[in-house]
Amino acid sequence: MQPSNEATRHGVCLAIFDLGVLLIGDSGIGKSEIALSLVDRGHQLIADDAVTIKRNAEGEVMTSCPGVLQDFLEVRGLGILNVRKMFGDSAICRQKSLSLIVRLERFSATDLPHIDRLHGLHHEEDVLGVTLPQVTIPLAPGRNMAILTEAAVRKYKIREAGYYTEQVFTARQRAELAKKDQ
């Protein structure tokens, strides 16, 4: 069966460092607040709450905003914000190819110690027949989620350029241990 060429997905989509990034997670987890922080940091809002996703003829997964929601961001306690009016035209991106999915998730205190600290929580997700990388960022009080989201995007970009942090770190540790064994 051929995958669909169009879908609507719950989440917030942004252009971060010129890459399309979809924030997903449970309702009320803070996606829109993180998006507001990212827009304030100079990134662009594509869509809040409902993200239109289409696979184009080249096989790219393109994201955009349903017309009725264009420019708007809903933040609990503040209500509906018009991002274009608040931050200017440059704060809005009409569409972008989706490169990375960032899942925001609450972890219990007993689950947090079991996260792989070297590799993190990286998976792949099928979106309209295209496999895309997904990283999960655990939510916790005091964490700066905007900076962590930016870091996830930067890590993705350098990985795409062929730099694998975990491999470099592990090789450095092995070299240090080899020195001590001599």
Q: Which residue of the set 117, 119, 179, 180 is catalytic?
A: 117
Q: Is 71 a catalytic residue?
A: no
In angstroms, how far apart are the furthest CA atoms of the chain?
Answer: 68
Distance of alpha carbon 109 from alpha carbon 51, whole angstroms: 32
Locate the domains of the chain by residue range. Answer: 6-181
Low-confidence ranges of the chain (pLDDT < 50): none
Q: Which residue of the set 43, 48, 49, 55 is catalytic?
A: 49
Q: Which residue of the set 31, 43, 55, 96 is catalytic?
A: 31
Q: Is 117 a catalytic residue?
A: yes
Q: Which helix (H) or strand (E) holds 106?
A: strand 95-106
Q: Is 159 a catalytic residue?
A: no
CATH number of this structure's domain 6-181, picked from the four choices 3.40.50.720, 3.40.50.1860, 3.40.1190.20, 3.40.50.300: 3.40.50.300
Q: Are 125 and 134 in contact (CB under 8 A)?
A: yes
User: What is the model's pLDDT at position 128?
Assistant: 95
Q: Is 49 a catalytic residue?
A: yes
User: What is the model's pLDDT at position 3?
Assistant: 63
- pTM, two decimals, is 0.92
Q: Are 104 and 145 in contact (CB under 8 A)?
A: yes
